């Protein structure tokens, strides 16, 4: 099992610190968070792309995928006026371009909250309209676009595996893919491994964290309520051969070095000889 590091938790440090730790602790690749101060797509386009490429070469650490920040202010393709939607889609398109420049395997997005007063039919119409445009651009430039499900604490759009299947029933494209972050199914009492069963070859990535079962908190594996050892081994036995990113985010950004080291040590121990 190939293990990736997510760089969001390092946002109070230089991006080089993340690369340095990833190599030292034995990670196999970087899932690059596309937010400031590290890898915001417009900043990459303006000249920062060279710096990230230099880090890739210096530390021998490939970019697994690029994950622009599209769940929070000011970018959310699912809410607001047409100008706001347009700006969000333009950011994602630019992110795909930058991901391709970095040799990333995919660009990952999610459908953030569409607003409590928005009718379901309007939510779905906007989602599919957005995804059709983005998928067409992904096909044009040759980039895989991964759609992630989120917890109900984060969104009212795409939360379950069945939601993803409904999307794929309307979007037929080899560039339109998905993944499983193990937190959303766990907090909704949805068996995690059903994502592997239902999505098949559409499942292209995994986010591995622990969960308290009652929030969207992403915990170091072993610190929550999930049977992590058993889950990690089930994933390893499933035949999945892609990357698994340990997605530590802002909860640990006071000292990401310590928690990044702890997380991969625990996951390697859980795998035993089965990785």
Q: How confident is the model at residue 272 (pLDDT cuts 50, 70, 90)?
A: confident
**What's the rounded mean pLDDT across residues 54-74?**
95
- DSSP of 17-34: HHHHHHHHHT--EEEEEE
E-strand spans in the chain? Answer: 2-6, 29-34, 63-68, 107-110, 145-148, 176-181, 203-208, 243-246
Residues with a known catalytic role: 148, 247
Query: pLDDT by residue (tens digit) across 32-51?
Result: 999 999 999 999 999 999 99
pLDDT at 73: 78
Query: pLDDT by residue (tens digit) across 130-187?
Result: 999 999 999 999 999 999 999 999 999 999 999 999 999 999 899 999 999 999 999 9
265 token code pair: 């040590």
pLDDT at 22: 98
**What's the rounded mean pLDDT across residues 109-120?**
97
pTM: 0.95
d(CA 138, CA 239): 27
Q: Indicate the angle between helix axes 15-25 and 49-59, nearest 10 degrees.
A: 20
């Amino acid at each position: 099992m190939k293990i990736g590091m997510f760089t969001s938790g390092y946002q109070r440090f230089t991006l080089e610190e993340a690369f340095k730790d990833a190599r030292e602790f034995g990670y196999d690749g970087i899932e690059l968070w596309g937010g400031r101060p590290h890898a915001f797509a417009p900043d990459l386009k303006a000249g920062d792309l060279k710096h990230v490429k230099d880090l890739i070469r210096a530390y021998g650490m490939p970019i697994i995928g690029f994950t622009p920040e599209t769940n929070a202010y000011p970018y959310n393709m699912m809410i607001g006026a047409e100008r706001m939607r347009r700006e969000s889609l333009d950011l994602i398109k630019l992110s795909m371009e930058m991901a391709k420049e970095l040799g990333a395997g995919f660009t990952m997005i999610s459908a953030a909250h569409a607003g409590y007063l928005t009718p379901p039919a309007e939510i779905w119409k906007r989602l599919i309209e957005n995804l059709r445009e983005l998928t067409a651009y992904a096909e044009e430039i040759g980039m895989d676009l991964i759609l992630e499900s989120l917890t109900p604490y984060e969104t009212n759009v795409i939360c379950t595996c069945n939601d993803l299947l409904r999307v794929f029933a309307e979007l037929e494209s080899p560039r339109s893919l998905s993944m499983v972050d193990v937190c959303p199914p766990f907090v909704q009492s949805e068996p995690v491994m059903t994502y592997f069963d239902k999505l098949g070859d559409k499942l292209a990535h995994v986010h591995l964290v622990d969960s308290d079962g009652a929030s969207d908190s992403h915990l170091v594996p072993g610190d929550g309520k999930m049977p992590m050892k058993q889950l990690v081994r089930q994933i390893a036995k499933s035949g999945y051969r892609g990357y698994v990113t340990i997605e530590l985010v802002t909860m640990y950004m006071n000292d990401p070095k310590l928690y990044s080291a702890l997380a991969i040590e625990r996951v390697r121990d859980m795998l035993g000889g089965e990785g």
